[in-house]
Structure 1
């Protein structure tokens, strides 16, 4: 049996838990202080950490998903059409590396969110020990997370773009979910779980939850559906079926925001500078460089290069229209 060591306040933990539930892969959920030992078993001590049945430990949600695909054939989350599989991966990567800024920003910019979520996350982690101990830990955690805001780009100066892109994403999702819960048919892909992981936190934090309840009520409710899709079977769309409008809308965001973000980060690192800036949706954005996101860009390019002629012919017009193609080719 697998053991998924994570936390309710971790978007990547919730992403993996929902995926494991959908895939019906036998596992147990290990949460809070009970998961601390697992962090000592991996090179980079971040959750979620998956303990495999053979006793080995692994983390980083995207490689975990693809490794599970190799080990378990049933109920795959990778569309069988290579073109759609690439699009699904691109959306998942966008969620992991850009939409996560919405999660972090909404959680740690305003006092009301800082206070509730630091206390709730401390409560989750400690599972008792008294209110004074819990709230003391909460204040330490709050200070650490707020101090990290400039590092991850979640500053007040950057938040107008983060919020505008979040609302654009949710506008498309709200229009979609009243017709279909999934993106590539009637069964979920890696893309849904990537988006769900980040939005699962917006559906809990006070400011973001109020925004979702008011303006995106069906997207808010959709989160509970994606959390456990173990009872869903469903089918993939036919390979020649048109893409849902939400895919076009989200890829436009990838091309307008995420690809320029990745390119600017990569160029800054190559130039030996520590910060970079972009303008997207008419709004400015600046942050420090991240080496991990250079790997993300290289991985996207490698996956695109691996597509055969037929798959490229199907996906290139979509990527060109959305402004993604030049950076990937």
Structure 2
């Protein structure tokens, strides 16, 4: 039995809970409990923190997913085709590191969202104690999160790009889900869970929820499906149509977002750190974006390149045209 120490307001917690549910891995959901003990057992004190059956504690959702793959073989979320596995990982990384800015920006830019979400998150954490104590904590939490906006790149001047990107990826999702629930067949991959984690919050926060319900209603409903897919038994597209099964149009649309926005973002961040700069800027979709450097995302770029380099010639040959078309290939080749 695993214990997932997380919170409803944490996109990475929701990502891991949905994945554990789909994979039918026995677990307990420790929501909003006093997580200080669990946080003290991991290097980076952020949720979700998962306690393993052997009593050890681990976090960082992507390494957790791959570790669970090594420990539990049934109902894998990694496509068996190496080419598709790389694409699924690339989409998951894009969700974790870029789409999360939509979650943070929609939650903390507008006062209506600041007020409701700080109060709800305080309610989740305290589970009682009276309105005065809860709202007092909410104001402290609100001030802290709003104060972090510039650090995570969610300042108001950056939000036009974040919002344009979010609407583009939701548009592609809306067109896809009316025909197919999953990206690589009739069963979910790591990519769906990565994207679900971030979008799950857009389905709750006031401004974002109004937007997604109005303009992307089936994407909004899709979130509720991905939350618990434990009853789904499906097939990978390669099991149905072979290794040359065509990829869904949403894959190209989302990789175009990766190539136009996320790859330039990663490259600019890495170049700035190598140059000793404290900030970097890009222009994407005709819109400006500036933020402080972030060392973790240097590791993300290095990991993507390592995963691409590990592909054999056959797998590369099948996805290189797509990566080139969407503007992702040169970065994977480090050129």
- TM-score category by the smaller chain? over 0.9
Q: Is the 8 A contact 2:272 2:280 kept in 1?
A: yes
Q: Which residue of 1 aligns with 2:234?
A: 234
Q: Which residue of 1 aligns with 2:123?
A: 123
Q: How does 1:1-329 map to 2 (within 5 A)?
A: 1-238=1-238, 239-329=243-333
TM-superposed CA distance for 1:37, in Å, is: 1.6
Give the SS at the match of 1:184: coil
Give the SS at the match of 1:286: strand
Alignment TM-score, normalising by the size of structure 1: 1.00
Structure 2 CA distance, aligned partners of 1:77 and 1:31? 24
Structure 1 CA distance, aligned partners of 2:181 and 2:116? 30
Structure 1 CA distance, aligned partners of 2:174 and 2:132? 41
Give the SS at the match of 1:285: strand
TM-superposed CA distance for 1:41, in Å, is: 0.7
Number of aligned pairs?
329
Give the SS at the match of 1:297: helix
Give the SS at the match of 1:79: coil
Alignment TM-score, normalising by the size of structure 2: 0.98
Give the SS at the match of 1:5: strand
Structure 2 CA distance, aligned partners of 1:33 and 1:21? 20
Q: Structure 1: 5+ residue runs without aligned partners?
A: none
Structure 1 CA distance, aligned partners of 2:248 and 2:331? 23
Structure 2 CA distance, aligned partners of 1:110 and 1:228? 30
Q: CA RMSD in A?
A: 0.5
TM-superposed CA distance for 1:33, in Å, is: 2.9
Structure 1 CA distance, aligned partners of 2:35 and 2:294? 27
TM-superposed CA distance for 1:31, in Å, is: 1.3
> Deviation above 6 Å: which 4+ runs of structure 1?
none
Structure 2 CA distance, aligned partners of 1:34 and 1:2? 17
TM-superposed CA distance for 1:178, in Å, is: 0.2
